[in-house]
Amino acid sequence: MSNIDIAAVAGGRELKEFIEFPYTLYRSDPHWVPPLRTAVKELLDRKNHAFYFNAEAEFFLARRHGRVAGRIAGIIDRNHNQFHGENAGFFGFFESEDDPAVARALLTAAREWTFQRGAQVLRGPVNPSTNYECGILIEGFDTDPMIMMTYNPAYYPVLMEKAGLQKAKDLYAYGGSAQKLDITKIERVASRALAKNGVRIRPIDMKNFNVDVLRIWQIYNSAWTRNWGFVPMSREEFFRMGKEMKQILKPELVLIGEVKDCVVGFALALPNVNHALKKANGSLLPTGLLRILYYQRLIKDVRVLALGVTDEYRTSGVAAGFYATLVRNALRLGYDGECELSWILEDNVLMNRSAELMGVKRHKTYRIYEWN
């Protein structure tokens, strides 16, 4: 590895190289969706982005003969470690040429940086936590990713294994035609469960958006507590994400379940704006914004990002009510293309069975790796 130089991002020029590297790496890949550069820059802003209020990170570039060959971030997420009672370090924003030496050097840099800060295991990729894009795609390279899902070359799993990393957990994505979803059984379960438990499902109130976001945040940080890898989000971080999603969400696809005045669950689905983002090629100017606005009207696909209920209602069948309502609303709004449910933990038996019951098939698998 003598001809590979690993250095921390030290200024604006290096940060720009860090941001730009994927646009070069994936230049000829038909399935990569270029993120907006402005959005990436905001996510990497360690001074102002709410994630870093409870975390720290270092960004590294790999160079071979002076040319950028890869990138990675080392991350210490204090929220995660406090919640799970462990000393874990994380890596994220990993990109590399098909070169095991480069990948190993990058991962070693992230491991050393996090271990110097008390970590006892390196886990990832998370960009920068499981609340954002995470995992390496290991199956399903033949289609574009849905909104907020990762994509990478098929050689990435090999790079991880050659560097000595092992599987920590697999994440499943289920997909299928929205028009062909079989919600007959789900509907029967849903109607009984909602009536029996007195649950009313309603869309988010856009006129009282912040009030509903606050209620959803409280449910999110309680309903997901049992999930492997879950990281509680601070109020500031959650509201920032809510503000970003507000630009693209449809109220009928953001559902809140209530028993009287008490919120007992919520579900979130988003139009797959990746179709529009792909046309912009990462830039709003000079024509990117116009392309996004034009192609956004043509979106037919939707992704179900989150669905959770409180412990009291976890096995009651109430989740079926959310699924059924989402499907009905999505079709009524014209989202009759592909529907993806993602991601679901490989050992979340209840959610995996629900997905299969609806007739969607597992079409992508993502993996979180770890290195002790």
What pLDDT band is residue 186 in, cutting at 50, 70 and 90? confident
pLDDT at residue 287, rounded to an integer:
81
Give the residues across from 176 on adjacent strands: 339
Orientation of helix 184-197 relative to helix 318-332, angle to 10°: 120
For 180-196, what is the mean pLDDT?
81
Q: Residue 214: what pLDDT?
A: 95
Q: What is the mean pLDDT of residues 186-196?
A: 83
Burial 177-204 (b: 16+ CB within 10 A, else e): ebeebebeebbebbeebbeebebebeeb
> Using a CB cutoff of 8 Å and minimum separation of 24, what contacts does 166-169 make?
166/369, 166/370, 166/371, 167/367, 167/368, 167/369, 167/370, 168/123, 168/367, 168/368, 168/369, 168/370, 169/228, 169/229, 169/345, 169/346, 169/347, 169/367, 169/368
Q: List the beta bridge partners of residue 323.
A: none
List the end-to-end C-alpha distance of the chain, in Å, as a whole number.
21
Phi-psi region of 172 (alpha: psi -120 to 50; beta: other; left: phi over 0): beta
CATH number for the domain running over 176-365:
3.40.630.30
Per residue in 227-248, pLDDT (tens digit) is 899 999 999 999 999 999 998 9
- In angstroms, the Cα distances linking 43 to 9, 19, 49, 51, 272 are 15, 11, 6, 8, 20
The CATH code that applies to domain 4-171 is: 3.40.630.30
Q: Which residue has the higher pLDDT, 13 or 187?
A: 13
Asked if omega into 125 is within 30° of 0 (cis), the reply is yes
Report whether pLDDT(20) > 90.
yes
d(CA 105, CA 83): 30
pLDDT at 4 over 60: yes
pLDDT tens-digit readout, 69-116: 999 999 999 999 999 999 999 999 999 999 999 999 999 999 999 999
User: By the 8 A CB rule, do 63 and 69 touch?
Assistant: yes
> Hey, where are the domains in the chain?
4-171, 176-365
Report the alpha-carbon distance of residue 189 to residue 185 in Å, rounded.
Answer: 6
Encode pLDDT of 257-278 as tens digits.
Answer: 999 888 999 999 999 999 999 9
Percent of the chain clearing pLDDT 70 (strictly above): 99
pLDDT at 1 over 60: no
Res. 47: pLDDT tops 50: yes
Does 4-171 match 176-365 in CATH topology?
A: yes
